[in-house]
Amino acid sequence: MKRILVAVVVVVMCVVSAQLIAQAQEGTGAKFGGVVVGGASVTATVDAIHAETRTVTLKTKDGQVKSVKCGPEVKNFAQIAKGDTVNIDYTEYVSIAVGGPGAVPSRADSTEVSRAALGEKPAGTITTTTDVVGKVKAIDYTARTVTLEGPNKTVTVKVDAAAVNFDKVKAGDTVYMQYVQEMAVAVTK
pLDDT digits (tens, 9 = 90+) for 117-173: 999 999 999 999 999 999 999 999 999 999 999 998 999 989 888 887 888 889 999
Of 33-37, 112-116, 169-173, the poorest mean pLDDT is in 33-37
Dihedral of CA atoms 56, 60, 65, 69 in degrees, nearest 10, equals -30
**Residue 115 reports pLDDT greater than 50:** yes
Instruction: Report which of 48, 52, 37, 50 is spatially closest to residue 7, judged by C-alpha positions.
Output: 37
- Asked if the model's pLDDT at residue 39 lies above 50, the reply is yes
DSSP-based three-state secondary structure for 30: coil
Q: Which residues contact 162 (CB under 8 A, 6 or more apart)?
A: none
Its pTM stands at 0.71
pLDDT at 89: 95
Return mean pLDDT, the chain: 83
Tell me: pLDDT of 1 over 90. no
Is residue 147 a contact partner of residue 156, using CB atoms and an 8 Å limit?
yes
How is the chain split into domains, by residue range? Answer: 2-188
C-alpha to C-alpha distance for 119 and 141, rounded to whole angstroms? 58
Note whether 61 and 136 are within 8 A (CB).
no
- Give how far the C-alpha of residue 126 lies from the chain's centroid of Cα atoms, to the nearest Å: 10
Going by the DSSP 8-state scheme, the letter that residue 117 receives in this structure is: P
Q: Are 68 and 47 a contacting pair, CB within 8 Å? A: no
pLDDT: is 24 or 52 the higher one? Answer: 52
Cβ contacts of residue 184 below 8 Å, gap of 6+? Answer: 87, 88, 89, 123, 124, 125
